[in-house]
């Protein structure tokens, strides 16, 4: 085997191994993680009617009420790697799962920058679904406080100047 053939063989082997690692990285994403990521993407894109259909346990909340509440919120999931970090499956059964994840947010200045907590997910109609109440809480439109969410607010000097 001459030097050129050897170098070509090593190059081909390198390309094949790189391709296998890429496939493994894509396959490493669980159906739970993919479902949550897709749901957050739909929310970030403002497709609230579609988001409503992707959520579980709607209870008494109608589609119109949900869409109106979501439109009033300026908070939405961050993009790309900030959207979801440290995704872990805590418990998975046939129709229910608990995951632990850090979700990043963008939006108004007083919105949470992220929350790290457990989320319940339900397997319905062949797909994993986030809970509607969780999405409303994350958006800040449910009236319920979320454990683990830190809200940062700025105090402006205009308030103090009006008093004086």
Tokens representing 12 are 């081909």
Tell me how far apart the alpha carbons of residues 23 and 163 are, in angstroms, rounded to a whole number.
Answer: 62
What tens digit of pLDDT does each residue of 78-88 get?
A: 999 999 999 99
Q: Say if residues 121 and 89 touch (Cβ distance below 8 Å).
A: no
pTM strictly above 0.85: no
Domains of the chain by residue range: 31-153
pLDDT for 108-131, tens place per residue? 666 558 999 999 999 999 999 999
Residues 6+ apart with CB under 8 A from 116: 86, 100, 101, 102, 103, 148
What's the gap between Cα 18 and its chain centre? 28
Q: Could you tell me the CATH superfamily of domain 31-153?
A: NTF2-like; domain 1 (3.10.450.100)
């Amino acid at each position: 085997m001459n030097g050129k053939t050897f170098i070509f063989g090593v190059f081909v082997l390198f390309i094949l191994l790189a391709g296998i690692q890429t496939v493994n990285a894509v396959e490493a994403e669980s159906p739970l993680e993919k479902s949550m990521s897709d749901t957050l993407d739909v929310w970030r894109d403002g497709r609230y009617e579609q988001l409503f259909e992707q959520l579980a346990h709607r209870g008494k909340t109608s589609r119109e009420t949900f869409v109106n509440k979501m439109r009033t919120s300026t908070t939405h999931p961050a993009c790309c790697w900030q959207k979801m970090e440290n995704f872990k499956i805590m418990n998975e059964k046939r129709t229910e799962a608990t995951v632990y994840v850090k979700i990043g947010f963008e939006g108004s200045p007083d919105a949470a920058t992220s929350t790290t907590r457990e989320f319940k997910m339900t397997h319905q109609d062949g797909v994993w679904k986030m809970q509607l109440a969780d999405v409303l809480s994350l958006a800040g439109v449910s009236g319920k406080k979320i454990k683990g969410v830190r809200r940062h607010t700025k105090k402006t000097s205009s308030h103090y100047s009006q008093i004086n």
